[in-house]
Structure 1
Amino acid sequence: MPTTADILIETLIDWQVDTIFGLPGDGINGVMEALRTRQDRIRFIQVRHEESAAFMACAYAKWTGKLGVCLATSGPGGTHLLTGLYDARLDQAPVLAITGMQFHDLIETFTQQDVDLTRAFSDVAIFNAQVSDAAHMESVASLACRSALAKRGVAHLSIANDVQEETLDDASRSKRNRPSHTPDLWFEGSGLPADEQVEKAAEILNGASKVAILAGRGALNARRELAEVADLLGAPVAKALLGKAALPDDHPHTTGGIGILGTLPSQEAMEECDALLIVGSTFPYIEYYPKPGQARGVQIDRDPQRVGLRYPVEAGLVGDAAAALRMLNPRLKRKEDRGFLEKAQAGMRRWREMMAQSESKPDMPLKPQVVSRAFGRRLPDNAILAVDSGQNTEMAARHIDMKDGQAFGVSGTLASMACGLPYAIAAGIAFPGRPVFAVVGDGGFAMQLGEFSTAVRYRIPLKVLVLKNNMLNQIAWEQMMFLGNPQFGCELQPIDFAMAAEAMGGIGYSVSRAEEVESLLDAAFAAEGPVVIEAVVDAYEPMMPPKMPPDYARNFRQALPETPGREAIEASVAEEPLKTMIAEDRQERDQGQKS
């Protein structure tokens, strides 16, 4: 007779779940036994911290489009999942979290690990249930999977450890709860927008003379259709970070990223367009969109709740991006005037020249742009790249080009540190044998450093570039630019990450001089197995937006006199490309004073 845990795992197998990320504990041992006896049909990937398990489940769902699953014990095991689960919630990744609980008759008695995880998960989960017995599990296991996939969010099942081992014979089945009344099937909708909205969108876009496109993660499976609509409209395509792989970075229509980590041509396209087509993105930084009333808006999104969320739109195409564009594109007239696109392309040539200046500096300390560009240039055509949150994100966004066939992942809306390594490991588990790469900062990497041993254990073909500046660098620049305060509390105690990699059974390299970068990366890329490349880089290399807003520039100048390393920072901003970025701000400020 199957136990509650057996029913759960058999249901997951029926839903084509092949991998569960987690860490054992006494509150989840019944589920662990169900996994042990089914090792030939479902994999258990042991992590070193439950937060990583949730990040991996989220990333696995993003990489594959399938349901990601994570597992944790009662009390602190469950609460450790929350950061990774919020990553899934905010980036709309379907994830099922399974947690244990204390004995069912000791709940709310102040016993050990007496945490009501259903209450703790009430904000993060779109489906959230405490399982009462095996008969209840028959009903809720499928519903949890279906809910996570249908709503692209987090489902949570919490099971008391004694309930996990109870059988169907032990269950008190009500007469209304008939066996097998819920199917283990997924019925997907058509994902097609309303025809009248498609017609309205075509009217708006055909009537505009300067169309800009903003593409996000929802456009990843619509690359061909996105390239077609960009060509028809003569439109530059700015990419939100989650949509970095939506078009190759060398595509003639793309202007690269948008926002503080983006490019100047993307920002200029948004400032000058008279129509905006948003494809699969709710990029959160509203200040980088066109001004309301400047441009007519069209948006494609699977979630009607998100249409018009960031920018007012007149036509909302609710559905799959590829399907919506296949309906829209035949109704568009090819624009003969390519002036708007050509201006953006000229801007991109200038932008690339500026970036090349920072990518070729022989300076000491080593500039992070130099090693980032050299690392990215070596990525093979089928590479998967994961990045962490911090200044390393800027390095990957601006200095590593995505090619056609490559994949890119990051904690998007949550922008959590410590995501890069778990994301990369999940990619290696999802696509065995495919080369995996990560760019991380020393701050985020240290948070989940032990997880590198997971990459060693599962023989992930992983190369991790650690930009080590002994500083929480993005936070330091935000303190200065956002508030006008000197950097404080951001210095980090140095860690020898190359030595740590060796201690965990991997391979470690360290580089600190520009002239050593090429040869060292050649050696690191030739090495087999998980590799850490520790790049000791300039802690005083500023993180700048493509165009400095006047308040950022004013705050930066205010904070600089009391900031440690002032002389080094001043030397950096006196050189290209930062000199030009600052000059853009001065021109804008001078024009404002004249007017």
Structure 2
Amino acid sequence: MPNAAEILVDTLIAWNVEVVFGLPGDGINGVMEALRKNQDKISFVQVRHEESAAFMACAYAKWTGRLGVCLATSGPGGTHLLTGLYDAKLDQAPVLAITGMQFHDLIETFTQQDVDLTRVFNDVSVYNVQVSDAAHMENVASLACRTALARKGVAHLSIASDIQEQPADAAKRSKRNRPAHTPQDMFAPHCLAEDAELDKAAAILNDARRVAILAGRGAIGAAAELQDTARLLKAPIVKALLGKAVLPDDHPYTTGGIGILGTLPSQQAMETCDAVLIVGSTFPYIEYYPQPGKARGVQIDCDAQRIGLRFPVEAGLVGDAAETLRALNKRLEQKRDGEFLGTAQNSMQKWREMMHQSEDSSAHPLKPQRVARAFGERLAENTILAADSGQNTELAARHVDLGVGQAFGVSGALASMSCGLSYAIAAGIAFPGRPVAAIVGDGGLAMQLGEFSTAVRYGIPLKLLVIKNNMLNQIAWEQMMFLGNPQFGCELQPIDFAKAAEAMGGKGFSIERADDVERVLDQAFAASGPVIIEALVDAYEPMMPPKMPRDYAKNFRKALPQTPNRDLIEENVARQPAKTMMEAGE
């Protein structure tokens, strides 16, 4: 007769879960034993910190579209999961979190690790249950998997350590709890906007003269349909960060990213359009959308709750992006005037030329744009690229051009540091043998540096570029731009990441000068196994929005006289592309 933990693991297998990310502990010994007995059917990936397990489960769900699962012991093990689980909540990734508890009859008695994790997880989860016994597990395990997938969020099961080992026949089943009454299948919802709403959307877009398209992660898988829409409307496609891989970065219809990490042509398109079509995106920075009243809005999203969340749309199309675009395209009229698209394309050409000026720099200290571009040019055509949060995100967004067949992932709405390495490991686990790369900062990597040994242990073919400026660079620039305060508290104690990689069984390389970039990257990409490439770059290279808002510029000038190394900052701001970004907002 199976016990509660075995019922749980059998349920995961029935739901086609192939991997569980976690860290053992006495509060989950029963679940660990059930996993051990089923090693031929489900894998356990041991991490070095539970936060990484949650990030990996979230990233696994994003990379694959399947259920990500993480496992942690009671008390601090469970609380450590929270950051990664909030990443899943905010980016709508289906994740099941399994946590242990103290013995069931010692709950709320101030015993060791007496933390009510169901209370702790209440905000982060769409389904949150303390399992009472083995008979209860038969019902809730399947329902947790179903709910996480159906509602694209976090489900949580908390199980007392002794309950995990309770046999099913020892549970006191109520008369209404009949065995095997809970279905094991997932019934995917199918939704397509009504004809009247499609007609309304088409009328808005057909009537407009200057349509801009904003595409996010929900548009991935709808590239062909999106291109048809852009062709019919002669519309530039602006990409939210999570939608970076929707179309190749060199595609003639796209103006690249939007927001503080985006491009000037994207911002100009949003400022001058008279209609915007939002496809699979709830890009959170409202200030980068068209001014309300100056453009009409149409939005496609599979979640009705997210329609009109950032911009007041007149037509909301609830459904799958590809299927909805196909239905919409049949109603769209081919526009003859291509001036708006042509202007965006010309602006994009100038933007690229400006970016190349910084990427071709031979200055010392080494410019981060130079190494990011060279790193991106070496990525194989089926590479999965992850980024962390910080200046490294801007470098990945602006200076790495993704092509057809490549994928991109990052902590989106949560924008958490320390996610990049975990995302990359999850990609390697999800797609064995496929090339994996990551661009991270020295601040974020230091938070979870030990996970590089996890990449070594599981043989992830990882090329990890760490932008080392011994500075929390993005935060330093935000201090100046957002509030007019001088940079303070952002300097980091240097770490030799190349030596750390070797100490953990991987390979490490260092780049300090522009003349070393090509040679060292060639060596690093020729090496097998996990690799860290440490690039020591200019700590005072600015991180700027494509068009500096006037209040940002005012704050920057206020903070500059009080900021250390003012002369180095001024020298960098006088170069391209920072010079044009500063002038664009004046």
TM-score by length of 2: 1.00
Aligned residues of 1:192 and 1:324 also touching (Cα < 8 A): yes
Deviations 1:483-534 (A, max 9, x none): 0000111000000000000000000000110010001000000000000000
| Correspondence for 2:505 | 505
| Correspondence for 2:95 | 95
Pair 1:37-2:37 in alignment = yes
Pair 1:9-2:9 in alignment = yes
Q: Distance in 2 between matches of 1:140 and 1:122?
A: 16
Q: Distance in 1 between matches of 2:460 and 2:46?
A: 14
Q: Distance in 1 between matches of 2:429 and 2:396?
A: 23
| Correspondence for 1:495 | 495
| Correspondence for 1:171 | 171
| Correspondence for 1:345 | 345
Q: Distance in 2 between matches of 1:3 and 1:546?
A: 58
**Where does structure 1 lack aligned partners over 5 or more consecutive residues?**
587-595
Aligned residues of 1:191 and 1:323 also touching (Cα < 8 A): no
Q: Distance in 1 between matches of 2:182 and 2:388?
A: 40
Pair 1:142-2:142 in alignment = yes
| Correspondence for 1:448 | 448
Q: Distance in 1 between matches of 2:196 and 2:20?
A: 43
Q: Distance in 1 between matches of 2:51 and 2:569?
A: 35
| Correspondence for 2:313 | 313
Deviations 1:156-210 (A, max 9, x none): 0000000000011110100000000011100012231222111111111111110
Q: Distance in 2 between matches of 1:580 and 1:397?
A: 18
1:69-218 equivalences in 2 (<5 Å): 69-218=69-218
1:262-341 equivalences in 2 (<5 Å): 262-341=262-341
Aligned residues of 1:245 and 1:402 also touching (Cα < 8 A): yes
Q: Distance in 2 between matches of 1:576 and 1:120?
A: 48
Give RMSD over aligned pairs: 0.5
Equivalent residue of 2:585, what SS?
helix
| Correspondence for 2:519 | 519
1:451-470 equivalences in 2 (<5 Å): 451-470=451-470
| Correspondence for 1:474 | 474
Identity percentage of aligned residues: 75
Deviations 1:95-133 (A, max 9, x none): 000000000000000000000000000000010000000
1:221 Cα deviation (Å)? Answer: 1.3
Q: Distance in 1 between matches of 2:459 and 2:21?
A: 16
1:30 Cα deviation (Å)? Answer: 0.1
| Correspondence for 1:571 | 571
Equivalent residue of 1:331, what SS?
coil
| Correspondence for 1:229 | 229
Amino acid at match of 2:445: F
Equivalent residue of 1:34, what SS?
helix
Aligned residue pairs: how many?
A: 586
Amino acid at match of 1:116: D
| Correspondence for 2:24 | 24
| Correspondence for 2:556 | 556
Amino acid at match of 1:330: K
Amino acid at match of 2:553: A
1:435 Cα deviation (Å)? Answer: 0.2
Equivalent residue of 2:202, what SS?
helix
Aligned residues of 1:387 and 1:438 also touching (Cα < 8 A): yes
Q: Distance in 1 between matches of 2:416 and 2:304?
A: 26
Amino acid at match of 1:105: D
Q: Distance in 1 between matches of 2:203 and 2:582?
A: 40
1:582 Cα deviation (Å)? Answer: 1.6
Amino acid at match of 1:445: L
| Correspondence for 2:535 | 535
Q: Distance in 2 between matches of 1:194 and 1:142?
A: 33
1:583 Cα deviation (Å)? Answer: 1.8
Q: Distance in 1 between matches of 2:285 and 2:583?
A: 24
Amino acid at match of 2:22: G
Deviations 1:403-422 (A, max 9, x none): 01100000000000000000
1:266 Cα deviation (Å)? Answer: 0.2
| Correspondence for 2:414 | 414
| Correspondence for 2:56 | 56
Amino acid at match of 1:341: L
Q: Distance in 1 between matches of 2:575 and 2:441?
A: 24
Q: Distance in 2 between matches of 1:585 and 1:264?
A: 11
Equivalent residue of 2:437, what SS?
strand
Aligned residues of 1:461 and 1:529 also touching (Cα < 8 A): yes
1:241-260 equivalences in 2 (<5 Å): 241-260=241-260
Amino acid at match of 2:286: I
1:311 Cα deviation (Å)? Answer: 0.2
1:581 Cα deviation (Å)? Answer: 1.6
Equivalent residue of 1:221, what SS?
coil
Q: Distance in 2 between matches of 1:585 and 1:263?
A: 13
Q: Distance in 1 between matches of 2:198 and 2:145?
A: 32
Equivalent residue of 1:33, what SS?
helix
Equivalent residue of 1:558, what SS?
helix
Pair 1:423-2:423 in alignment = yes
Q: Distance in 2 between matches of 1:12 and 1:298?
A: 39
1:579 Cα deviation (Å)? Answer: 1.3
Q: Distance in 2 between matches of 1:42 and 1:325?
A: 38
Amino acid at match of 1:581: M
Equivalent residue of 2:221, what SS?
helix
Q: Distance in 1 between matches of 2:502 and 2:561?
A: 41
| Correspondence for 2:585 | 585
1:367-406 equivalences in 2 (<5 Å): 367-406=367-406
Deviations 1:255-299 (A, max 9, x none): 000000000000000000001000000000000000001111000
Q: Distance in 2 between matches of 1:459 and 1:105?
A: 43
1:585 Cα deviation (Å)? Answer: 2.5
Equivalent residue of 1:466, what SS?
strand
Equivalent residue of 1:341, what SS?
helix
Q: Distance in 2 between matches of 1:259 and 1:411?
A: 15
Aligned residues of 1:232 and 1:333 also touching (Cα < 8 A): yes
Runs of 4+ deviating beyond 2 Å:
none
Aligned residues of 1:255 and 1:345 also touching (Cα < 8 A): yes
| Correspondence for 1:239 | 239
Equivalent residue of 1:278, what SS?
strand
| Correspondence for 2:360 | 360
Q: Distance in 2 between matches of 1:333 and 1:565?
A: 56
| Correspondence for 1:589 | none
Q: Distance in 2 between matches of 1:574 and 1:128?
A: 53
1:574 Cα deviation (Å)? Answer: 1.1
Amino acid at match of 1:206: N
Amino acid at match of 2:15: W
**Greater alpha carbon shift after TM alignment, 226-235 vs 84-93:** 226-235
Amino acid at match of 1:504: M
Equivalent residue of 2:555, what SS?
helix
Q: Distance in 2 between matches of 1:306 and 1:154?
A: 18
Q: Distance in 2 between matches of 1:564 and 1:87?
A: 35
